[in-house]
Copies of this chain bind each other. A is one copy, B any other.
C-alpha cells in the first residue's frame, strides 16, 4: 500500500515538550519541565464520591451517547461561572470539550485556511501552536513587554484570522496583563476588526491577587473564550470548554461532532457533581496555598543560586518562571547536560512561532516539593555556571 500524507501532516512535528517529558521520567531527575499539576492536590475523595454517585444514580445516562454540546447542567454552570468573571454568555454558547486543547484544535479547524495569518504572543503556548499549525496557519508574532502583548503591536496583525491571547499567568512566561492593557487590547482589536481567541487555563491559580476580568468581558460576546477544569480539578479528566459567539456556535458544534461526537458523559457528570455546590471555592484555595509555597521556594532558590547574568520574572500566578540566560547560552544545547546533572526544564525556543530566543527556558514550580525545587535549581545553576566559565 502507498499511503500519501496530507500536506498539513508536514506541520505535525514531534513535540519538544513531549520528548522532554520522556527524559524527565528517568528516575533521579528533578523535573522543572512538564506543567504537570501536583497530583497530591487532586481532590481524589470528592471525585471518587461523585463518580460513585453518578454511577449509582444515573448510570445509563452517564454511559450512553449524549449531546455534542455537552451536559446541560455543566454548560449552565460554565455560563454562570464565566458570568461572574464578567462575560455575558448564555449556556447555549458553551461547548464542553476534551480539555481546552480540543477547543484550540476546533478553533483552528473552523477558522484557519492554509496560509491564514494567526497572531500569537511571543512567546506563546506551545500547544496552541501545535493545534493551529496543522491547519497551515502562518503565525504573526505580536510584540510585548513584561506584562504581555502591546495594544499598538496588534496593528501588525491587521487582517489576521484572529489573535490568540493568554492573559493570565501565561504559559510559558508567567506574565499577566493589567486591566488597563486588557482594555487597550480589546479596544484596539475592535478598532481594527481583529477577532480575539482568549485562553484562560490558569486564571484561578493566583497567589497574590486575582487577575483582572478577561479581555472577552470587555470585548462583549464577540470573543472566543476557552477554559479548563485541568488546573482546578485534575487534567486526566480531559474537560474544558469553549464559549463562542452565537454566530460561530453552530459550525463549532458540527466540528466537535465530527471530531468525537461528544465529550465523555461520565466525566462531565462527575465534574458537575463536584463543582455544582461551590466545592471549588473551598478546594482552589488549597491549590493556591500549595503552589504559592512552591513559587516562593523557586523564587528564593533562583535568587540564591543562579549565576550572574540570568534574569527571571516572579509570576503572580500560574505554574511557570521564565528565565533569560546570558545570550551566549543555548538552553536546548544545555538540556542533555542538565538532565545528566539531575534536572530538567523546557527550552524556550519552541514557544516562539518564529524561532530564536535560544537563551530562554521555562521552569515549572508545581510538580515537585519546595525541597526538590531548591535541589533542582542548584543542579541547574551548576550546569549554567560551568557553561559560562
Q: Which residues of A contact B (CB under 8 A)?
A: 1-9, 12-15, 18, 34, 36-37, 39-40, 42, 44, 47-48, 51-52, 55-56, 59-66, 68, 97-99, 101-102, 105, 109-113, 116, 127, 130-131, 133-135, 161-162, 189-190, 193-196, 219, 222-223, 230, 234-238, 245, 247-248, 250-251, 254-255, 257-267
Instruction: State in angstroms the CA–CA spacing of A7 and B258 once bound together.
Output: 16
Taking a contact as CB atoms under 8 Å apart, the answer to whether A259 and B101 are in contact is: yes
Question: Chain B residues with Cβ under 8 A from A161's Cβ?
Answer: 4
Apart from A6-B116, A238-B260, what are 11 other A-B pairs with CB-CB below 8 Å? A4-B161, A9-B110, A9-B251, A12-B251, A18-B68, A40-B60, A48-B55, A48-B56, A63-B234, A105-B260, A236-B266
Question: Chain B residues with Cβ under 8 A from A4's Cβ?
Answer: 111, 116, 161
Q: Which 4 A-B pairs rank lowest in CB-CB distance, beginning with the nearest?
A: A63-B234, A39-B60, A236-B265, A12-B254
Instruction: State in angstroms the CA–CA spacing of A113 and B116 once bound together.
Output: 16
Residue of B nearest to A105 (CB): B259
Question: Chain B residues with Cβ under 8 A from A265's Cβ?
Answer: 236
Minimum CB–CB distance from A192 to chain B (whole Å) comes to 10
Taking a contact as CB atoms under 8 Å apart, the answer to whether B42 and A48 are in contact is: no
Residue of B nearest to A250 (CB): B14
Question: Chain B residues with Cβ under 8 A from A189's Cβ?
Answer: 1
CB within 8 Å for A36 and B64 given contacts A1-B195, A99-B261, A266-B236: yes
Minimum CB–CB distance from A135 to chain B (whole Å) comes to 7
Question: Chain B residues with Cβ under 8 A from A250's Cβ?
Answer: 14
Question: Chain B residues with Cβ under 8 A from A261's Cβ?
Answer: 99, 101, 127, 238
Taking a contact as CB atoms under 8 Å apart, the answer to whether A251 and B5 are in contact is: yes
Question: Chain B residues with Cβ under 8 A from A109's Cβ?
Answer: 6, 8-9, 134
Minimum CB–CB distance from A47 to chain B (whole Å) comes to 7
Say which residue of B112, B235, B264 sits within 8 Å of A65 (CB atoms): B235
Instruction: State in angstroms the CA–CA spacing of A248 and B6 once bound together.
Output: 12
CB within 8 Å for A64 and B234 given contacts A130-B258, A193-B1: yes
Instruction: State in angstroms the CA–CA spacing of A251 and B267 once bound together.
Output: 28
Instruction: State in angstroms the CA–CA spacing of A190 and B255 once bound together.
Output: 33
Say which residue of B3, B105, B236, B263 sits within 8 Å of A238 (CB atoms): B263
Taking a contact as CB atoms under 8 Å apart, the answer to whether A5 and B63 are in contact is: no
Taking a contact as CB atoms under 8 Å apart, the answer to whether B63 and A3 are in contact is: no
Residue of B nearest to A220 (CB): B1
Taking a contact as CB atoms under 8 Å apart, the answer to whether A264 and B237 are in contact is: yes
Instruction: State in angstroms the CA–CA spacing of A101 and B5 once bound together.
Output: 20
Taking a contact as CB atoms under 8 Å apart, the answer to whether B196 and A63 are in contact is: no
Say which residue of B5, B63, B110 sits within 8 Å of A42 (CB atoms): B63
18 chain-A/chain-B pairs, Cβ below 8 angstroms? A1-B193, A1-B194, A3-B195, A3-B248, A6-B116, A9-B110, A18-B257, A36-B64, A44-B63, A47-B59, A51-B52, A62-B236, A130-B254, A130-B258, A131-B259, A237-B264, A259-B259, A267-B267
Taking a contact as CB atoms under 8 Å apart, the answer to whether A55 and B64 are in contact is: no
